[in-house]
Amino acid sequence: MLKRTTLNINIGLILLGNTLYALAVTAFILPAGLITGGTTGLALLFYHQLAVPIALTVSVFNVAMFILGGAVLGRSFALNTLISTFYFPFILGVLQQFPSLQTLTSDPLLSAIYAGMMIGFSLGLVIKAGASTGGMDIPPLVLNNKIGIPVSFSLYAFDFVILLSQMFFANKEQVLYGILLVLIYSVVLDKVLIFGQSRTQVKIVSTKYEEINQAIIQHLDRGSTLIEAETGYRRNESFVVLTVVSNRELPKLNQLVLAIDPDAFMVINRVNEVKGHGFTLDKSYK
């Protein structure tokens, strides 16, 4: 039952993400004549330089990337991406039947900004669902899986190179707007991918480490780790209390620590993601 619910949620995210992407293309990219990166930009380059039909380039490249993604990222990824492959052209055609969507603005700067935000958000939804919109979205996912390069960084690098290559035939101002578009959706994508996962790591140095440790366990219901340490000046042996809390729990943790030891030394860091019991796994009590 849980797996079926998760599958339904993922399919819903994929459909929503592709719908928003198609809406961005219909309402902002096409009316403003913006150029973009990805498979479409690559196809334009081959068309102008080698006279290769755009449809042929897109089809061949998408099939090749689909096979690569399935081989490296697994059958589940391939099946989810297959939804995007068929749904995106369908919903794009539906949205283009509404002329009012194509007259929202005639300002290319506004179009680049709004298209960038919508595309970044839509890509984030699809990627978080374990899929992609296909084409040039897949190489960044493969690089992230194999060598840990952030998806947003790889996506921006690929699109930036593709945009620069279009300077041979496109208006220079169009290229500048295209770079702005890619930059915006890369930043938004990065924010969406880590949304809801960031946590706060706190290291606490105090002579009353045992009381603080118990307070964290009893009052915050969070785990903690005692790390052996030695003070730098007096060379006194002690323990550092390490814990990870949600952002909302930080003020309460701060109050607990200062109530026990007003002289406690605290180091607070924001971390992008935490895995384990109490976060990605259910808490277990012994």
CATH at residue 218: 3.30.70.120
Q: Examine the domain organization and report whether 94 and 214 are in the same domain.
A: no
Q: Examine the domain organization and report whether 152 and 257 are in the same domain.
A: no
Q: Examine the domain organization and report whether 179 and 213 are in the same domain.
A: no
pLDDT per residue as tens digits for the range 263-282: 999 999 988 766 666 555 55
Residue 50 lies in a domain: yes
If one counts the domains in the chain, the total is 2
Last residue of a domain, one of 194, 212, 227: 194
Q: Examine the domain organization and report whether 23 and 154 are in the same domain.
A: yes
Residue 280 lies in a domain: no
Q: Examine the domain organization and report whether 209 and 184 are in the same domain.
A: no
pLDDT tops 80 at residue 137: no
The residue among 110 and 233 whose pLDDT is bigger is 110
Q: Examine the domain organization and report whether 46 and 186 are in the same domain.
A: yes
pLDDT tops 90 at residue 195: no
Q: H-type helices in the chain, by residue range? A: 2-24, 30-32, 38-50, 54-73, 75-95, 108-128, 138-147, 151-165, 172-194, 209-215, 250-260
Determine what percent of the chain is predicted with pLDDT higher than 90: 17
Residue 27 lies in a domain: yes
Residue 285 lies in a domain: no
Q: Examine the domain organization and report whether 163 and 37 are in the same domain.
A: yes
**Which residues form the domain of 259?**
199-271
Q: Examine the domain organization and report whether 154 and 243 are in the same domain.
A: no
Q: Examine the domain organization and report whether 116 and 206 are in the same domain.
A: no
pLDDT band at 196 (very low <50, low <70, confident <90, very high): low
Residue 278 lies in a domain: no
For residue 256, the one-letter residue type is L
Instruction: Give CA–CA dist 16/145, Å, rounded.
Output: 24
Last residue of a domain, one of 157, 174, 194: 194
Determine what percent of the chain is predicted with pLDDT higher than 70: 91
Helix axis angle for 38-50 and 151-165, nearest 10°, is 20
Residue 286 lies in a domain: no
